[in-house]
Structure 1
Amino acid sequence: MYLVLLVTIATTIISIGLTAIYKRIAIKLKIVDIPDARRVHNKVMPTMGGITIFTAFYFSLFVLLPIPHSIVFPIFLGSLAVLITGMIDDLKNLSPLLKITGILIGAFIVSYFGDVSLETMTLPFIGTLEFGSWSLPFTLIWILGFTNAVNLIDGLDGLASGVSIIALTTMGIIGFFFLTIQEVSISIMIFILIGAIAGFWPYNFQPASIFLGDTGALFIGFMIGVFSLQGLKNATLISLVLPVVILGIPITDTLFAILRRKINRQSISVADKNHIHHRLMSLGLSHRQTVLAIYSVSAIFSVIALLYNFSTFWGSALLTISVVIGVELFVEIIGLVGADRRPLLKSLREFGNRLNKKKPDGQ
């Protein structure tokens, strides 16, 4: 435990130093993000900061805390493919199809060579389901979904990096205290990644002096997707739900972005300014207030995820219902889908109006 703590602190320090050095290199080589209509920032910024997180993370794993190469190397190769995809996208603006292809290649490497997959799932009242030939497609889609979810919220200074730290911390705690010995070893890797991101985060928090870029957002999202599947070869419904709840904010943003674009008959890959952070800022919150608000909501999701580990089946069911209702209310209040699409709020207003009509005069 003490060794893990020391290596995590060392990783943070390494990441801080690498980020400071890389910032100067990026500016000199003009690896920068130029403002446009979709950007919140208004000045040229060094980008592709995910390189420093990647480097600090794997330096610690291979040098400071040697973990068997049979575990680390497939993850390294898969994440390297995703990192390169992000770098090319930051430099050349890849098409959505090519970006997805790069992520799927990384996911395939991890799944095939690292034996990361979902093969069976035990459901209450039903029993064990075997995925069989669907195991690989499900695994690839799972990792792709988490990768894109984190990438999608990378729109404000420190947002994706901060939310990822909160999510990974929750996953690491669950691994240490609630799961098996195999998952504890994965938790060690998770805390090392937290250290790598934590060293970068002060430079990335508003006002940022460097951006993650797709290089960093895709890498972090990919790693969260991979870690969330580690140990889930034989999953239960709750163990499968936990990562989804932990990543509540980016997953909610992703799902409602898809829904919004489908309703408006737009391509799923079309970018817009109606994500959670955009909507909160439109309500009058400042840049920093918006980021801190989303951090707070992410922390709430994380606490709920921890509660699942103490709950009975019916308690978990009630938690899930509460989460779904809470997310829907939050989405409707901030207008994530559209101002005219708020069925739950509309129903509550109608219910309130009916109660008022039933009150006798004078009350």
Structure 2
Amino acid sequence: MRLSTPRWWYRRERSHAPVTRMLLRPLSWIWAGATARRIAKATPVDPGAPVISVGNLTVGGSGKTPVARELLRLLRAEGIEAQGLTRGHGGRLEGPERVDPATHSAVDVGDEPLLLASEAPVWVARDRPAGARAAVAEGAAVLVMDDGHQNPSLNKALSLIVVDGETRDDEWPFGDGAVFPSGPMREPLAKGLARADAVVVLLPDDAPGLDPELRAVFGDLPVFIARLEPAGPPPPGPQLGFAGIAKPWKVERALTAAGCELVDFASFPDHAAFSDGDLKALADQAEARGAGLVTTEKDWVRLPAEWRDRVAAWPVAARFEDEAAVMVLLRRVVAPPA
């Protein structure tokens, strides 16, 4: 059973769910200690090609995969044979396995690899070094590893941290700084930033700019701004939206900001496997209100094939504000072919 992301995780004031926070704090200490020991004891492997790690410091919801997909696009546009590497969260295949969107489903490889595979060759592997070696053997000149910051198994030529930069009310990307399960952090903020080479702050398309208070958190680390832009308008007419991602409330906000006529919105846990019953219930609600169904591209790839014609996918893409500066950083890791 998957659980929904607690909204109070992202409240920086401890007045939200104070008893729950307190009761979970000892488990947070255990989690943080185990993560630190695993990273300290690891002996990273050189797979024979530079590895660009795209990770985050929180449990889901930062936008790692759109950023990884954009990096693959930029590198390949330079003529560099960039390939993706991911664990394949939610998929049944252990790998190493090259993702084939024509034959693999989200049940096989997970939803995120299918999105990445629309941009470049992608490998899923529970054993990241084995996956990296398989990719290099097939011609990869550089690897973009999705969700790699807390995985110490590979040498990293570049470690990027992706941060959800949307702040409003008392919502804060790191909550009160508590580590899972008392908060959203995978590890303490200072420890995670100490292993990073740069930060990518992902902002909604309509956000005014980077919060100066958030910028100050990253100290001297280079910070790049990326915008999460709709790849097209939402479907016309009334729509019932739904999403099973870490922060589904952000999808509702984004659809509304893009002009979607939402009649209602349903939230599901991250990486939810939509049952036929779930989808029939949504379809019945939509029909009763004269609305269509719309969801994210990431959720759409998890739908059973027979439902895909009945649900509109609303794709978004990460685009860097200063693409030239990002390319300067990437070229330090790998140069385009002569």
- TM-score band by shorter chain is under 0.3
TM-score, normalization by structure 2: 0.27
The structure whose Rg is larger is: 1
> Which structure dedicates a bigger proportion of its chain to helix?
1
